Chain A
Amino acid sequence: MTGSRTKAPRVAVWKFASCDGCQLTLLDCEDELLALAAEVDLAYFLEAGSARGPGPYDLSLVEGSITTPADARRIRHVRRVSRKLVTIGACATAGGVQALRDLAGVRAFASLVYPRPDHIRALERSAPVSAYVPVDFELRGCPIDKGQLLEVVGAFLAGRRPVVPRHSVCVECKARGNPCVLVARGVACLGPVTRAGCGALCPAFGRGCFGCFGPSESPNAAALNARLRAGGLDDDELARLYRTFNAGVTGGCGDA
């Protein structure tokens, strides 16, 4: 018996500040879920089951941004018990929509929401995981794409780098045959500076890209912004366009 079968790789799924949408994407792999569960040991995945198998884990998938002192400690623990650590989604890779507080200050935000903000323990920033620990791979998206998630999990289990695009949504838009909403209809669109992955979904529905997947490689935001201003967007509107789910991204695009 000994050595006749390799031990199933141990996978853990962790949640920090987030909406659960990215880990739900794993459960949304309806056709692949049971097959995947047969190949790996889902040793820690609180949303899906009561198993709390101890570490170490071969692969940790981390959802959510780091926003509390306790979570800052917990992410260091996750790193220590994980051979590979992959962040999934805009929260874990860029701070998420909750990073909008970085612009206003967390105290100001807390006092708007809670009668007793002093009872709320929150860090000044909603930070990406990489601000605290080394990350082996960042999968972008708000939410992530199911196909990309399966590619990333498969690649890490096979010991290779995942193949996901770094180019812009515009490439997907052309491949899909969408008319350009910006050129043809003057709709504000972040497609030229946003990373591919969604399949150019918004333009396919006749609206402009609003940047769920964060910045593409080498985005020329200055050129896009000039075009958007010429189309009538004022600075406040431009700022709001960029400041959504990836506002906390470091070295992000946008001179707004």
Chain B
Amino acid sequence: MTHRTIRVGGLTRVEGEGGLLVRARGGRVAEVRLEIYEPPRFFEALLRGRSWTEAPDLTARVCGICPVAYQMSACQALESLCGVTVDGPLRDLRLLLYYGEWIESHALHIHLLHAPDFLGYPSGIAMAAGHRAEVERGLALKKAGNELVAAVGGRAVHPVNVRVGGFYRAPGRAELAPVAERLRHALDAALETVAWVSGFDFPDVEHDYRFLALRHPAEYAVLSGEVAVSDGPGLPVRRWPVEEWPGHVAEEQVPYSTALRARLDGRPGYLTGPLARYALNAGRLSPAAARAAAEAGLGPVCRNPYRTIVVRAVETVHACEEALRLLAAYTPPDPPALPVEPRAGVGHGASEAPRGTLYHRYRVDEAGLITEAAIVPPTAQNQARIEDDLRALVEPRLDLPAERLAALCEAAVRNHDPCISCSAHFLDLRVSHE
């Protein structure tokens, strides 16, 4: 078999549209391309000339699954530009909103998108036939996250309550009480989910990932922190402030993809997201999450991409527990936003979207109009590393039947929950043997 082409039309159970091409020559993989053909939407261009106050609402539209991440990175970039730090109860309310997004996004990915791979179903909905209780539990967990986002942000998709400096209105304690009640059940559900997914049958694979994630002095970083980088097993962790991002991370364009691809310190192929966060921050997990991680057998670092589902479940426990803690201590911040006055300059902001670090940079003029914007989403950072994972997967299996190989590739891509519409969306596999 000297020439062989395998194609899968459209990557499913991911957010967006992408394809995959594998070229083999003489039994070796010559090239792997994650082809993101999501139509480009030009956000960085359409932000030019807009008011600095509009960035949170406009950039939320990059992604329907993690709009809060876009709003938080945008707000923090603009606040740092204006010399304002949102702290105390206002920051707590932001964290609460963000935990809601982590819960809904992780619950969606775990139950509807990822678990079917391990249990042999085409979808979460089909999986309900054999695992109805687990699917219903997942939906209830997801609903708890969505309700938290809606209670703080106004609605689950594209929240309306976020502004530079804080919020338009701080919800009253009574408004949040029903959410707290649901979150108590959600915490139990999340713990059960860790136990469920940690019992899946995981391929025995480990990669020497280079990890990038935010790191916060006191928290399992979600909303803010320094950028931490681990270049590999046994190497020291390097840290630098978010403002130094442009000196470390550069984006390049590859002709086959509408998503730009990031390099870290000159080299492509690093990983951001749950495995990176866990490797760099596991010591800061909430008590229940730390126990759940230990019981799931995760260890201090997890380099098995298939076990991202376990890490996501642990992070869901963390988000539920922390959200409950914040809710118990909640008093509505008054006023609901700090005064922020625009000034000319450049601001950088980063936060941990469910899929990984999301960086924003804005240049603003004296009138408060955006003159330049840069957004580096998690998928653009992970793209090259996902290609490396695929190369390692495909090479020893080039003789497998096309359909089987394609299914394995899709599953390997889903480990990383790529948000393809963020990066520019889904998967078409072609393997050509030359």
Chain A positions within 8 Å of B, measured between CB atoms, are 15-25, 27-28, 30-31, 33-34, 37, 42, 45-52, 64, 67-68, 70-71, 96-98, 100-101, 104, 106, 108-110, 112-116, 119-120, 122, 142-143, 198, 201-202, 204-207, 210, 212, 237, 240, 244-245
Contact = CB atoms under 8 A, between A and B. Distances in A.
A30 B143 contact: yes
Contact of A20 (B42, B258, B410, B421): B421
Interface string B128-164: 1000100110011011001000000011111011010
Contacts of A31: 139, 143
Contact of A49 (B125, B140, B252): B125
B345 interface: no
Consensus secondary structure, chain B interface: loop
Contacts of B168: 202, 205-207
Given A33-B139, A110-B40, A47 B12 contact: yes
A49 B139 contact: no
A47 B14 contact: yes
B67 A21 contact: yes
Contacts of A112: 42, 44-45, 48
Contacts of A205: 154, 160-161, 167-169
Interface in B1-52: 9-17, 37-46, 48, 50-51
B205 interface: no
A49 B123 contact: yes
A201 B168 CA distance: 12
Interface residues of B, number: 68
Nearest to B372: A112
Interface string B158-180: 10110100011100000000000
Given A143-B158, A244-B54, 16 more contacts: A19-B62, A19-B67, A21-B158, A27-B108, A28-B142, A37-B128, A46-B11, A50-B116, A51-B122, A52-B12, A101-B46, A112-B45, A115-B252, A143-B64, A202-B168, A205-B167
Interface in B75-129: 108, 112, 116, 122-126, 128
B426 interface: yes
B157 A25 contact: yes
A23 B63 CA distance: 12
B236 interface: no
A244 B12 contact: no
11 contacts: A15-B425, A21-B157, A28-B157, A33-B125, A49-B12, A49-B122, A50-B123, A110-B40, A110-B42, A205-B169, A240-B54
Interface of B: 9-17, 37-46, 48, 50-51, 54, 57-58, 61-65, 67, 108, 112, 116, 122-126, 128, 132, 135-136, 139-140, 142-143, 146, 154-158, 160-161, 163, 167-169, 252-253, 255, 258, 260, 410, 421, 425-426
A207 B160 contact: yes
Given A50-B123, A52-B10, A98 B41 contact: yes
Given A52-B10, A114-B253, A240-B50, A210 B125 contact: no
Contacts of B154: 201-202, 204-205
Nearest to A207: B168
Given A27-B112, A33-B125, A109 B46 contact: yes
A129 to B, nearest CB: 14
Contacts of B15: 20, 47
Contact of A50 (B12, B57, B108): B12
B45 A68 contact: no
Nearest to B161: A205
Contacts of A207: 160-161, 163, 168
A52 B407 CA distance: 14
A71 B39 CA distance: 9
B134 to A, nearest CB: 12
Given A47-B14, A240-B54, A113 B45 contact: yes
Contacts of A33: 125, 139
A243 to B, nearest CB: 9
Contacts of B62: 19
A120 B124 contact: no
B157 A24 contact: yes
A48 B61 contact: no
Greatest chain A CB density within 10 A among B9, B44, B125 is at B125
